[in-house]
């Protein structure tokens, strides 16, 4: 099972490392740090984009509010990144769903904490075992990938919250500034690859 996990990790990270310019020390941990950085910026941008009066918005009764989602990401970041770095989890106050300024501040602090935790990663330590949810032990790379995957997942969900309120998420704003529409970007992506590679 460990061999299969490592093969999957290598297959996921090798193309990212191969595309970087020149040799990079610690290519796998560098790739994970870059993903963290990109989605930290995206989530902070999403949190800043949503107006304060919409922080209590949720698309369905079963969903968390936008503000609760931001608080949740900050809380999980603090816990998970403390495990990645094997440091104490920062103490944070409980915040209400509609306290935008405080929630954005808490999210930024959690992203800064994760950035510090990920700065300590090296390829040599990615296989080390660290404590995780439910008292399990997982490899440090598994924990780090859980953090970045969680950020990707929450950004995707919060992007939908923004769009349902007539707002563009940060990544769509960047595309709009470049003068390309989303449909043009999608068409360009599919013309550059064969169908079997784009699925």
- Tens-digit pLDDT profile for residues 102-115: 999 999 999 999 99
Residue 57 Cα to chain centre, angstroms: 21
> Is the pLDDT at 74 greater than 50, yes or no?
yes
List pLDDT tens digits, range 136-165: 999 999 999 999 999 999 999 999 999 999
Q: So what CATH class is 2-167?
A: mainly alpha
pTM of this structure: 0.77
List pLDDT tens digits, range 23-48: 778 999 999 999 999 999 999 999 99
Long-range CB pairs of 7-13 (<8 Å, 24+ gap) are 9/141, 9/145
Non-local CB neighbours of 40 within 8 Å, separated by 6+ positions: 111, 114, 115, 151
Non-local CB neighbours of 107 within 8 Å, separated by 6+ positions: 43, 44, 47, 70, 73, 74, 77
């Amino acid at each position: 099972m460990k061999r299969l996990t490592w093969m999957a990790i290598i297959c996921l990270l090798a193309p990212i490392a191969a595309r970087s310019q020149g040799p990079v020390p610690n290519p796998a941990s560098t790739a994970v740090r870059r993903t963290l950085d990109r989605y930290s910026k995206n989530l902070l941008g999403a949190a800043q984009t949503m107006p304060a009066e919409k922080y209590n918005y949720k698309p369905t009764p079963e969903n968390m509010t936008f503000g609760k989602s931001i608080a949740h990401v900050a809380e999980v970041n603090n816990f998970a990144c403390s495990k990645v770095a094997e440091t104490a989890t920062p103490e944070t106050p409980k915040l209400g769903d509609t306290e935008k300024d405080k929630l954005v501040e808490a999210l930024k602090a959690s992203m800064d904490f994760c950035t510090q935790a990920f700065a300590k990663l090296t390829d040599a330590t990615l296989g080390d075992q660290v404590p995780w949810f439910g008292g399990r032990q997982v490899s440090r790379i598994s924990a780090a990938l859980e953090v970045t995957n969680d950020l990707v997942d929450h950004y995707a969900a919060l992007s939908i919250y923004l769009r349902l309120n007539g707002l563009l998420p940060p990544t769509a704003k960047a595309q709009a500034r470049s003068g390309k529409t989303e449909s043009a970007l999608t068409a360009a992506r599919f013309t550059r690859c064969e169908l079997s590679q784009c699925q």
